[in-house]
A and B are shown apart, each in its own frame.
Chain A
């Protein structure tokens, strides 16, 4: 069977299956299990109505359980075993992790990523959103800045490998150094600062996201409040920081936390740029170094990441909900 037909067939079975599930399960509930007739008709209707929501929720809950809840529990369980997966070693993997210097570097680097990337992406996004707001060519500028969002992390990393290339004929940084008569160096091998060179790639990607959301939020501010502030004597900076920013604070928090969560998941950039060498590991890339070799270790790192993301995520969801109200 050609793949196209296969695809169509799958879609038909999937969608048809869903429709059939809801239709027939409902039918069975009403006609067979709690039929609305006989001496207990009234009670049966009430019972059926109590069961119905769970019946309809079941597929979603089952899928979530299978693909979200089970992996969490399963990963945790796996992280308590050694490399082979046969010997239970308790928290041994975790203890080993915290004793290893690479893990500590990864945690420290990750902390820097979490502090720097969301802050810079949000700041630049806000700046661009505000600066392009009244420009005729603002939309063109915005689409250019948004474009990196469409590039995969690996693709972006490849682009930036050229920028950082240790060759004045390829890399712009070394071209500049060359212009000023400085020796060629590999930016990615400059300890400590190389982390920021990597972070900048993600900032470059995420600024577009922050800009789009914040631009919409800025447009949502009632024009009159800005005019009132102008009449009250506020200069453009005071209008921006004292009138506009406070009014979109909720959105800024949502953007900030959303990028934070993303930062805690990104491994591709480090993986493609340095492979975690020269002290650039972050938790997800560190996890990748163990994956398929020592799944006990890898799942332990994954679990640490999850615990770090959780509070940010809760905050993010709360803020987003508050925004919608």
Chain B
């Protein structure tokens, strides 16, 4: 139950810096999710908090105490691994009791803690089984139980659901959400590459990219107000469309003329100085709607249709070979649109504008 503070934390392997300038203030009771493309260092950062990787620069504080050089066991953290990391030769009970035994707790104390965790996670009937006799979901519950019994200040999750199949992943995700709800004071840090996990679980998401933090914010904040093209395209699936254009009207609303011939208004204030500014207009596929009138944001030939029932994803023919196609997600079934020329528009409040990859909102 603690705050976590990272100040200018960096990680270097020899000369190569993989993480730098990590500044993060995690408050007690928050569930922070690290997301980012693979290789962005999100797991490394988590392992640095755990103490499994050395922090080569900066300062990590847990509960106001600098823990850079304190061994993992004394940091008051518990970690759940992607591969569960259960001790294969120990029963579920012994797996959960191991840390307490090492800490020299009394038998009655250990039993109580293990039984309490087993009740929370419904592991009672499996306490005397070996991990190999459990299903993937049960194993991950044991791994979570192993951290609960230690009553840590900070819980660390390293892609805990990645080894589970789709159905189990959803069920376990909901269990983790419930677990967090039942322990509102516990601080959790959760690494995932799965956006749904990030969006549903996080109090705040930390997007990591290129060896640093790209943006920190609540899930909807990142979705609605990304600070740059990277976060805009990383959060949301399918990714946000980016269309090149030029500012032709300024004021409370900004008018953009697009290279493809369309125009769009955005609820983003600009000044006269921005006139003629080259921008990338960002619009999410789900915010595009078909347009019948003269005014349109984008028009193009539908190359491919994915009719999913509740919605239809349209892939437009890219202007140049190899360029990313524009995608639109329309409600309902529109299988007949394949090969047709379609015009699209979007509400001004849903339009994002980027100059030099940075959002005009964050200038």
Contact A225–B86 (Cβ < 8 Å): yes
Q: Which of chain B's residues have a CB closer than 8 A to the CB of A247?
A: 87-89
Give the shortest distance, in Å, between B251 (CB) and chain A (any CB): 56
Give the shortest distance, in Å, between A88 (CB) and chain B (any CB): 55
Q: Which of chain B's residues have a CB closer than 8 A to the CB of A234?
A: 73, 98, 102
In the bound assembly, the distance between CA atoms of A192 and B198 in angstroms comes to 71
Asked if B207 CB lies within 8 Å of chain A CBs, one says no
Contact B73–A225 (Cβ < 8 Å): no
Q: Which of chain B's residues have a CB closer than 8 A to the CB of A229?
A: 87, 98
> Which parts of B3-47 form the interface with A (CB within 8 Å)?
none
Asked if B103 CB lies within 8 Å of chain A CBs, one says yes
Give the shortest distance, in Å, between B316 (CB) and chain A (any CB): 45
Q: Which of chain B's residues have a CB closer than 8 A to the CB of A127?
A: none
Given the known inter-chain contacts A224-B81, A231-B52, A238-B102, please indicate yes or no for A243 contacting B72, CB distance below 8 A: no
Give the shortest distance, in Å, between B47 (CB) and chain A (any CB): 8
B50 (CB) vs chain A CBs: closest residue: A231
A221 (CB) vs chain B CBs: closest residue: B88
Complex partner residue of B85 from A225, A238, A246, CB under 8 angstroms: A225
Q: Which of chain A's residues have a CB closer than 8 A to the CB of B87?
A: 225, 228-229, 243, 246-247
Asked if A249 CB lies within 8 Å of chain B CBs, one says yes
User: How large, as a class, is the contact surface on chain A?
Assistant: 10 to 19
A235 (CB) vs chain B CBs: closest residue: B102
Contact A228–B79 (Cβ < 8 Å): yes
Q: Is chain A's binding surface mostly helix, strand, loop or mixed? A: helix
Task: Digitize A152-188: 1 where CB-to-B-CB distance is under 8 Å, 0 elsewhere.
Answer: 0000000000000000000000000000000000000
Instruction: Tally the A-B contacts, defined by beta carbons under 8 Å.
Output: 60
Task: Digitize A41-54: 1 where CB-to-B-CB distance is under 8 Å, 0 elsewhere.
Answer: 00000000000000
Contact A228–B85 (Cβ < 8 Å): yes
Give the shortest distance, in Å, between B84 (CB) and chain A (any CB): 8
In the bound assembly, the distance between CA atoms of A225 and B86 in angstroms comes to 6
In the bound assembly, the distance between CA atoms of A227 and B156 in angstroms comes to 13
Given the known inter-chain contacts A232-B150, A233-B103, please indicate yes or no for A227 contacting B81, CB distance below 8 A: yes
> Which parts of A201-243 form the interface with B (CB within 8 Å)?
222, 224-225, 227-234, 238, 242-243
- 22 example contacts (A-B, Cβ-Cβ < 8 A) are as follows A222-B83, A224-B84, A225-B85, A225-B86, A227-B79, A228-B81, A228-B87, A228-B146, A229-B87, A229-B98, A231-B50, A231-B79, A232-B102, A232-B146, A233-B73, A233-B74, A233-B99, A234-B73, A234-B98, A234-B102, A242-B98, A247-B87
Interface of A toward B, CB cutoff 8 Å: 222, 224-225, 227-234, 238, 242-243, 246-247, 249
Interface of B toward A, CB cutoff 8 Å: 50-52, 71-74, 77-79, 81-90, 98-99, 102-103, 146, 150
Q: Which 8 residue pairs across A and B have the least CB separation, nearest first?
A: A233-B73, A224-B85, A232-B99, A246-B89, A228-B85, A233-B102, A224-B81, A231-B72
